[in-house]
Structure 1
Amino acid sequence: MKIPFSPPYIDEAVINEVVDSLRSGWITSGPKVKALEEEIRNFSGSKEVLCVNSWTSGAIMMLCWLGVKADDEVIVPAYTYSATALAVLHAGAKPVMVDSGEDFNICVDAIRKAITPKTKAIIPVDIAGFPCDYDRIMAMVNEPEIRRMFQATSPVQEELGRILVMNDAAHSLGAYYNKRQRTGCETDVAIFSLHAVKNVTTAEGGAICLNLPDPFDNAKLYKELRMTSLNCQTKDAFSKSKAGGWRYDIIGLGMKINMADVNAAIGLAQIREYPQLLKERKRVFNTYTDAFSKWEWAIIPPSICGEKESSYHIYALRIKGFTEEQRDRMIDEIAKSEVAVNVHFIPMPMLSFFKSMGYDIKNYPQAYENYKSEISLPIYPQLDEEKLNFIINTVKEAYAKVTGCNTVDNAVQCTCQS
């Protein structure tokens, strides 16, 4: 049985929405983008939402809006996809990497130790869709001592008066930070990814959620950023296309990172079905957990802890006591059965580019500990009971082949740490 890792969810509703866009005669930024923004805003509880062409470009634009420059520091986890740090570099600042907790997410105590007068932003990442400890992070940046340390070097920073917190929510659309609040509105800025493998996709895309405190006007900021995403052009292409609407101006140095309607149509159909799709992802996640909880070697990934609940984006299984080499052998065994699995993530200090900049994985022991034994299993609505049983048996058989052991007792449960 051949099982892909993360195929997109495309049903008739998605196809019909895309065809409607194609038949409308308008396929770039227009009414469907605006409709998707409204759907995400209502779903997440954010004050304003701007859709762009990727998480990365959205993060670069927001850091540029913040006014970061050379020598400014932005704290990021060492354990994340490279885009988190690359966005900082593209914006002209320095990524300061810190270690993780056992739940994969950024260690809040490590953030505190890394803060200096040069720190302008913190970018926590909701790994696998499980939210970080935002109560502690937001309380920390508002502590009088931390605020006094903050040195503003731009008008936006002066107005904010403290370190900006920008949630890398690439994985966590639909997660609950508490029982009343979904991710997307718990920090100053949150950015969802709408990439092809995400829970809701636009093929490529991102959604910037704005929740800036007073005296910022989020509705006004939305309009400014929307213009910035279109080369700071005073009139978008949809408006220009109307009779007599040709004249425009360029009023600043913008970027060309807008989302197109034909892309938004995919996400628009999916997010309308998302509550049910999310239930299906949870079903898959819980099926894995029920099975692997019987095995002593399986470290179950976090899903619910207190009032936090995952978006069930990735099933990040860890193998107790495994070395990196054993993990890789186990993946090779799984691949022989044509089950596609993955690893989330190779810590950034292990990647050649970041090594060349002086980052060393030895300084991030928990990030390496999380990585060396992690295997990401397929998780998506299309997985039925037969496929799930095949995946589970394949993983168990692969473990047995690598270890020569096939007798186990109790599972190691997840811990709630940050």
Structure 2
Amino acid sequence: MKVPFSPPFIDQDVINEVLSTLESGWITSGPKVKALEEEVCKLTSVSHTVCVNSWTSGAILVLKWFGVKEGDEVIVPAYTYSATALAVIHCGATPVMVDINEDFTVDTSKIEQAITNKTKVIMPVDIAGWPCDYDAINELVNAPSRIKVFNPESEKQKQLGRILVISDAAHSIGATYKGLQSGNLTDITIFSFHAVKNITTAEGGAICLNLPESFNNDEEYKLMKLFTLNGQNKDAFTKSQAGGWKYDILFAGLKVNMPDICAAIGLAQIRKYNDLLLVERERVARRYQNFFSQYSFFQLPILEDKERKSCFHLYALRINSISEEKRDLIIESVTKTGVSVNVHFIPMPMLTVFKDRGYKIEDFPIAYDNYSREISLPIYPQLTDDEVDYICTAILTSYKKVIQSND
């Protein structure tokens, strides 16, 4: 049996939505993007969403909007995909990495220790669709002692008056924390709509605005929309209307807008997300839980507790008392059965671009421990129960094969 890791969900509704875009004669940013923004707002209960062409470009846009520059610091977990820190580097600032908790969420106590008068932003990451402890993070940035050391330099920083919290929710659309949807938990949330995500636009992302009362979210939405189009005061759709050719460039923006042809895919998916796609992902995750809970040598991911519920983006299985080398042998064995698995993630300090900047994995022991024992299993709506059972058997058999051959 061949089981791919994460194929996109493409049904007839997706195909029809894309075809309608092609037939409309309008494929770049236009009405489909606006409709997707409205659907994200509806799902998350935020007032404004800006769609962009990737999570990474969305993060760069927000950091630049906030005035993050050379000499500034942005606190990020060491355990995340490289884009979290690369976005900071692209703005000229320094990513300050901190360790994580055993459940993959960033360690708030480490954040507190890392804050300096150069800290402009904290960017927690919801690994696998599991939300961070946002109350603790939000309380931290609003503490009088932390506000006192905040050194605002840009107009937006002075307007906020404290460290900005950006949720890296690339994995967590549809997750909940204390009854609130992801997207509605921090000042700004950025989702990813990459091909492997719960909702995809092939490539894409969305910025959800939840700024405090000192901001007019409607005005910030309009500003960020300009930012996605090189700072141009008219989008291509407006310019195409009769007499609408004349435009101005108001500031040095970016070119990171999402096109309608991509938005169409996500639009068809998000309309059935809560009632179908999320339900089916949970079915797969619960079936894994039922199987792996029988064995003490597996460490299961948390799917739900009294405060949080995952959106089941990844099933991050860990294996107790095993080395990185043995984990790799297990993956090799599983792959031979036709099952594609993955690892999320290689901690950033282990990657050349960050090692060359002086980051050391030895400074992040929990991040390394989680990584060294983790295997991400396939989880998507199209998986049948028989396929899930086959994956479970492949993991168990490969585990026993590797452990027994090394005993």
The alignment status of 1:139 with 2:139, answered yes or no, reads yes
2:395 maps to what in 1?
Answer: 395
Residue correspondence of structure 1 range 95-174 to structure 2 within 5 A: 95-174=95-174
1:334 maps to what in 2?
Answer: 334
Distance, in Å, in 2 between the alignment partners of 1:384 and 1:19 is 28
1:224 maps to what in 2?
Answer: 223
Aligned 8 A contact 1:47 1:185 in 2: no
Aligned 8 A contact 1:121 1:165 in 2: yes
Distance, in Å, in 1 between the alignment partners of 2:232 and 2:68 is 23
- Describe the superposition over 1:94-140 as per-residue Cα deviations: whole angstroms up to 9, x where unpaired: 00000000001110000000000100000000000000000000001
Deviation at 1:71, TM superposition (A): 1.3
1:210 maps to what in 2?
Answer: 209
Distance, in Å, in 2 between the alignment partners of 1:288 and 1:403 is 21
Name the amino acid aligned to 1:336.
K
Deviation at 1:305, TM superposition (A): 1.9
1:357 maps to what in 2?
Answer: 357
2:21 maps to what in 1?
Answer: 21
1:201 maps to what in 2?
Answer: 200
Distance, in Å, in 2 between the alignment partners of 1:291 and 1:363 is 35
2:74 maps to what in 1?
Answer: 74
Aligned 8 A contact 1:75 1:114 in 2: yes
- Describe the superposition over 1:42-90 as per-residue Cα deviations: whole angstroms up to 9, x where unpaired: 1001121000000000000100011011110000000000000000000
1:4 maps to what in 2?
Answer: 4
The alignment status of 1:366 with 2:373, answered yes or no, reads no
**SS of match in other structure, 1:404:** helix
Deviation at 1:307, TM superposition (A): 1.8
The alignment status of 1:375 with 2:359, answered yes or no, reads no
Distance, in Å, in 2 between the alignment partners of 1:246 and 1:159 is 35
Aligned 8 A contact 1:108 1:136 in 2: yes
**SS of match in other structure, 1:112:** helix
2:261 maps to what in 1?
Answer: 262
2:44 maps to what in 1?
Answer: 44
Name the amino acid aligned to 2:118.
K
Aligned 8 A contact 1:313 1:379 in 2: yes
**SS of match in other structure, 2:272:** helix
Distance, in Å, in 1 between the alignment partners of 2:214 and 2:99 is 33
Count of aligned pairs between the two proteins: 405
Query: Cα RMSD over matched residues?
Result: 0.9
Distance, in Å, in 1 between the alignment partners of 2:158 and 2:264 is 39
1:242 maps to what in 2?
Answer: 241
**SS of match in other structure, 2:232:** coil
1:416 maps to what in 2?
Answer: none
1:409 maps to what in 2?
Answer: none
Deviation at 1:375, TM superposition (A): 0.1
- Describe the superposition over 1:285-328 as per-residue Cα deviations: whole angstroms up to 9, x where unpaired: 00000000001111000111222000100000000001000000
Name the amino acid aligned to 1:269.
A
Q: Which deviates further from its counterpart, 66-75 or 196-205? A: 66-75
Q: Mind listing any 5+ residue stretches in structure 2 that lack a counterpart?
A: none
**SS of match in other structure, 1:251:** coil
Q: TM-score, normalised by structure 2?
A: 0.99
**SS of match in other structure, 2:271:** helix
Deviation at 1:14, TM superposition (A): 0.2
**SS of match in other structure, 1:57:** helix
- Describe the superposition over 1:235-259 as per-residue Cα deviations: whole angstroms up to 9, x where unpaired: 1100111111111111110100000
Distance, in Å, in 2 between the alignment partners of 1:322 and 1:214 is 50
Deviation at 1:389, TM superposition (A): 0.8
Aligned 8 A contact 1:33 1:51 in 2: yes
1:252 maps to what in 2?
Answer: 251
- Describe the superposition over 1:265-295 as per-residue Cα deviations: whole angstroms up to 9, x where unpaired: 0000000010111010000000000000001
Residue correspondence of structure 1 range 82-97 to structure 2 within 5 A: 82-97=82-97
- Describe the superposition over 1:347-392 as per-residue Cα deviations: whole angstroms up to 9, x where unpaired: 0000011000000000000000100000000000011111011100
Name the amino acid aligned to 1:80.
T
Distance, in Å, in 2 between the alignment partners of 1:61 and 1:381 is 32
Residue correspondence of structure 1 range 272-311 to structure 2 within 5 A: 272-275=271-274, 276-311=276-311
**SS of match in other structure, 1:190:** strand
Name the amino acid aligned to 1:204.
E
Aligned 8 A contact 1:128 1:313 in 2: yes
Distance, in Å, in 2 between the alignment partners of 1:183 and 1:14 is 24
% identical equivalent positions: 58
1:319 maps to what in 2?
Answer: 319
Distance, in Å, in 2 between the alignment partners of 1:112 and 1:215 is 25
Deviation at 1:404, TM superposition (A): 1.3
Distance, in Å, in 2 between the alignment partners of 1:291 and 1:189 is 37
Deviation at 1:37, TM superposition (A): 0.2
1:34 maps to what in 2?
Answer: 34
